[in-house]
Chains A and B, each alone.
Chain A
């Protein structure tokens, strides 16, 4: 069993499984964010009440701890594996095969993941930090007004573009990642191949697109 935990295959499984949990988190996060489409005071009230619930509910707190743990686990196991594999070939090929035998995304998951991490840090600074530690005002119902913070942030075109581009990067990362984890777990059998392949493609397309629509919608409605 000890050799199991030290094997590259187990570490890869850990990286994949933690990534899979983060996909589940993304779905939940998206459902919550869709409330930003509700217009007017009703939307502001509902979103701020939701933000309060998400920062105070003990079950959500537990889930957030699991989420942060998965982010750290996903990053650490990947770094360990990348470092290990970088030692497997000291002399590189003079003539590179390019994308002749594999997709660009599959070969650049570390770069894509790093860009997603940069996005997460900026995203947390903009909203999570403001909600917890910022001098954030109260709405008419006495709740912290995260809705106004969000709407104000998405008045800036460069910030909206940064969000949309980051979602594009996330989509490419998810396309390979979601499909790859089922292969690593050993369940992407011929029987389920199409189902997993199409579901991964669907997730990679729908989740980032839906996320990207929110800042675009907020920006356009404020023009």
Chain B
């Protein structure tokens, strides 16, 4: 079985106020079938055995659907593989002897909590500003009572695939959250359930995005290229349209 020996250059930062620095580690005998996070698990075992502080990193489902894993690998959010979260990136995509640089998401709106873990609650506050719908609670509505065309349903579903990981912000040269906000606004604007708050939603969410200190969108397309769910910048087009439309309507 192929094994890898790697040099890892990892950002270490004890606390939000700590200055932080890169530290270099060597790991040997890595199975190429391991995921990137499992490789970090091996490193952490090594660090614990030598009485050192393990590297803190976010992870949860390790199935590519929760959006928790968040690290920039050799300058690419979630690593070099297209449409893949870090947890689904496997070590067979690296070569023996490689040096891998691992950094946290870099954005002032995502402050580092510790090492590779960042605080993404600014995304939660954007959602709180308008990423919801008003529904009557009670029994589930009949599935066919609200007809929605297949194309519309699929377009909304593609936007709903956003897992809110923040790779779009990490990839953007302006640290813009446009793709995230665009996905959330579009998903609800396309469906009948989202119509009641449609105008207020986009205005409030864009306003919150600005308040949280994210940069502006310069249409570089880096977000789409790095999004693990391959959310299209077409949704940013839709966000822009919705925003102009709502404001002009008043």
Please list the residues of chain A having a beta carbon within 8 angstroms of any beta carbon in chain B: 1, 3-4, 6-13, 81, 84-98, 100-103, 106-107, 109, 176, 179-180, 183-190
Contact = CB atoms under 8 A, between A and B. Distances in A.
A123 B219 CA distance: 30
Contacts of B107: 88-89
Contact of B214 (A86, A88, A185, A190): A88
A85 B240 contact: no
A96 B73 CA distance: 10
A184 B101 contact: no
Among B207, B240, B247, max chain A CB count under 10 A is at B240
A89 B240 contact: no
Contacts of A7: 206-207, 210, 243
Interface in B196-250: 203, 206-207, 210, 213-222, 225-226, 233-234, 236-245, 247, 250
A75 B171 CA distance: 25
Given A1-B247, A183-B219, A94 B108 contact: no
B199 to A, nearest CB: 12
Contacts of A100: 75-76, 80, 225
B121 interface: no
Given A84-B216, A89-B108, A176-B219, A95 B74 contact: yes
Interface residues of B, number: 48
A109 B219 CA distance: 11
A88 B236 contact: no
A92 B106 contact: yes
Contacts of B75: 93, 95-98, 100
A72 B237 CA distance: 26
A102 B225 contact: yes
Given A7-B206, A88-B109, A101-B225, A12 B233 contact: no
A8 B216 contact: yes
B13 to A, nearest CB: 10
A190 B219 contact: no
Given A13-B240, A88-B108, 19 more contacts: A6-B210, A9-B243, A10-B247, A88-B109, A88-B174, A88-B215, A89-B106, A89-B175, A93-B103, A94-B101, A101-B171, A101-B225, A102-B173, A103-B221, A106-B220, A107-B218, A107-B220, A186-B244, A190-B234
B216 A11 contact: yes
A179 B109 CA distance: 29
B72 interface: yes
Contact of B175 (A85, A188, A189): A85
A6 B210 CA distance: 10
B222 A101 contact: yes
Contact of B171 (A97, A183, A185): A97
Contacts of A95: 72, 74-75, 101, 103
